[in-house]
């Protein structure tokens, strides 16, 4: 680990209060290391993923976060609700209920949903989206009873077949609006919506009905890697004007945490603490002028 | 070359009249081989690309196509009109005029435009789209004088930064509708629009104003390869319901040629004549029931 100027700035100067580090961004750090790094750098908020939480233990993670004074901004992720076959659908519902319970235990009010792709052999996007709605009729009240909101995250259209048939904010809101706003809303991630000139209008639509439940940042860089999953850019490295999207969210009344969620093999190969410090610094610079 | 049943069917049984083979699909074939293969198999229409046409010679290609009785359905491609710097913009305009001249010489009425990505260092998608419109004010009448129509092709949003800032049919029509319909329309490619639940409405919009200038097919398969350019699926291999999109086009009044345009390293590694025969067969099967 080399101590570069970018990683030795005084924490209080570099970490805005609304900054949240999504655990996936620094997945080279185990949960205790993450908690320590956040404390050392002055980061107060984290987004967690179920798999590392399971590995460390749910109650143990909740205690670790509490003891470190960290707020869990979201849990990633529920979803994958597009199966056709009854038994698979039952499993998915049960797994999502477990995710909701975990979110409640971790003290976060938001479970992010990645809806799921086309079932094998199916070409019916519309049908898949309807099955998501059907599953939400069971999951939304279950979540509400535990003070957890579901945040449907539209994923970039390049994931439409294999990961998420909900490709736009418009589609996500069409689903969410069938349910009460405090039960189902959306997660806006710049990486997934930046290309869409209708997205700003749908951010406003979501804000007007109280459905902006999460906001995540990642930059768009090319060339995309094989499989396109782990090619997200560090803030400032790519094509997305972060300040512009933050302004849309602010104008729509969003005042919650702002997570940075990067999946990037190259960043994961480096030092996790340095990456956290660098990400917080870039967050501050990329969004300078906004309410942070 | 192995003679499988799929490649030995009688040509007249397998090649619908509206089928057009885009040269890129079988790029392992030189132009004379392509012409011979088309004649042998009963294919009457081809879409051409500028680079191989230049390599073979423009006049020679026009003669080859004429002698083989082949109709050139489109020329790919003009575009790349998003540069900011004046000299680069001038070069782009000149190059597009050359492409229009080439289209006229080849006897096709349609030049496909891939609009161009974000200039280096720019994050302004809106500005880039406006520069396309500006360039079209010069190119559209130039093309019309030569009986060539410009077809703006929206590319999948995964190409928005580096190849084409026009990501949806809606955006393409917003540009096209600033010009007369017989000068500027759109190219609908299933690969680029299949995920978009608003696309059918915009196909209808384009049909109503006479702007459906080209129709291309490719299937969506995953995982996407590194760089995401050459991962298009053979018809029937992927997530797209070709019959459904053909029905949208028919309902919108489109009765023109239907090109198959696949970029796929694996397909290119095989025998070009077999690939042509297989593609024509899959075209017939994938669209069966429609007007072909």
Chain A CB contacts of B225 under 8 Å are 226
Nearest residue on chain B to A165, alpha-carbon basis: B195
Task: Give the number of A-B residue pairs with CB atoms closer than 8 Å.
Answer: 84
Chain B CB contacts of A124 under 8 Å are 241
Q: Is it the case that residue A263 has pLDDT exceeding 60? A: yes
> Which member of B126, B168, B239 has the closest CB to residue A161?
B239
pLDDT, one tens digit per residue, over B41-82 is 999 999 999 999 999 999 999 999 999 999 999 999 999 999
Domain boundaries, chain A: 5-286
Average pLDDT value for residue range A48-61: 98
ipTM rounded to 2 decimals: 0.94
Predicted confidence at residue B289, as pLDDT, reads 85
Predicted confidence at residue B13, as pLDDT, reads 63
Which CATH number applies to B31-286? 3.20.20.150
- Distance CA(B116)–CA(B125), nearest Å, equals 11
Residues B271/A153, Cβ–Cβ less than 8 Å: no
Cross-chain Cβ contact A228/B158 below 8 Å: yes
Question: What are the backbone dihedrals phi and psi of residue B200, each rounded to the nearest 5 degrees, phi first?
Answer: -55, -40
Residues B262/B233, Cβ–Cβ less than 8 Å: yes
> Hey, of B157, B164, B191, B220, which one would you mutate to test binding to chain A, going by the most A CBs within 10 A of its CB?
B157
CATH fit for domain A5-286, picks 3.40.50.720, 3.40.50.1000, 3.20.20.150, 3.40.50.2000: 3.20.20.150
Cross-chain Cβ contact B162/A227 below 8 Å: no
**Is the whole-model pTM more than 0.90?**
yes
Question: What are the backbone dihedrals phi and psi of residue B286, each rounded to the nearest 5 degrees, phi first?
Answer: -65, -30
Instruction: Calculate how close chain B gets to A237, using CA atoms only, in Å.
Output: 10
- Distance CA(B292)–CA(B288), nearest Å, equals 8
Chain A CB contacts of B237 under 8 Å are none
Q: Is it the case that residue B4 has pLDDT exceeding 90? A: no
Nearest residue on chain A to B126, alpha-carbon basis: A197
Instruction: Calculate how close chain A gets to B224, using CA atoms only, in Å.
Output: 5
- Give the model's confidence band at A3: pLDDT under 50 very low, under 70 low, under 90 confident, else very high: very low
Cross-chain Cβ contact B162/A223 below 8 Å: yes
Chain A CB contacts of B222 under 8 Å are 161-162
DSSP of B19-69, one letter per residue?
Answer: EEEEGGGGTTS-HHHHHHHHHHHT--EEEEEHHHHHHH-HHHHHHHHHHTT
Residues B116/B89, Cβ–Cβ less than 8 Å: no
Cα→Cα distances B285→B15, B178, B248, Å: 10, 38, 18
pLDDT, one tens digit per residue, over B121-157 is 999 999 999 999 999 999 999 999 999 999 999 999 9
Cross-chain Cβ contact A241/B123 below 8 Å: yes
Cross-chain Cβ contact B158/A198 below 8 Å: no
């Amino acid at each position: 680990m080399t101590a570069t100027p970018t990683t030795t700035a005084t924490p209080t100067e570099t970490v805005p209060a609304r900054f949240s580090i999504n655990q996936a961004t620094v997945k080279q750090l185990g949960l205790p290391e993450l908690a320590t790094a956040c404390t050392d750098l002055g980061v107060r908020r984290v987004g967690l993923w179920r798999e590392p939480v399971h590995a460390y233990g749910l109650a143990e993670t909740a205690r670790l976060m509490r003891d470190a004074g960290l707020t869990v901004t979201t849990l990633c992720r529920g979803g994958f609700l597009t199966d056709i076959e009854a038994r698979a659908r039952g499993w998915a519902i049960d797994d999502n209920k477990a995710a909701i319970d975990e979110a409640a235990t971790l003290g976060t009010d938001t479970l992010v949903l990645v809806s799921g792709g086309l079932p094998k052999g199916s070409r019916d996007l519309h049908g898949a989206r309807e099955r998501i709605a059907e599953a939400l009729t069971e999951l939304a009240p279950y979540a509400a009873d535990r003070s957890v909101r579901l945040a449907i995250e539209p994923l970039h259209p390049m994931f439409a077949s294999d990961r998420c048939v909900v490709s736009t904010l418009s589609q996500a809101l069409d689903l969410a609006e069938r349910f009460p706003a405090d039960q189902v809303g959306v997660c806006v991630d710049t990486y997934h919506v930046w290309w869409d000139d209708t997205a700003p209008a749908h951010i406003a639509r979501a804000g007007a009905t109280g459905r902006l439940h999460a906001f995540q940042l990642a930059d768009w860089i090319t060339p995309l890697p094989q499989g396109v999953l782990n090619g997200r850019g560090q803030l400032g490295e790519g094509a997305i004007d972060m300040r512009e999207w933050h302004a849309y969210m602010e104008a729509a009344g969003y005042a919650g945490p702002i997570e940075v969620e990067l999946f990037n093999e190259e960043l994961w190969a480096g030092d996790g603490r340095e990456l956290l410090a660098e990400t917080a610094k870039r967050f501050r610079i990329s969004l300078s002028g906004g309410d942070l």
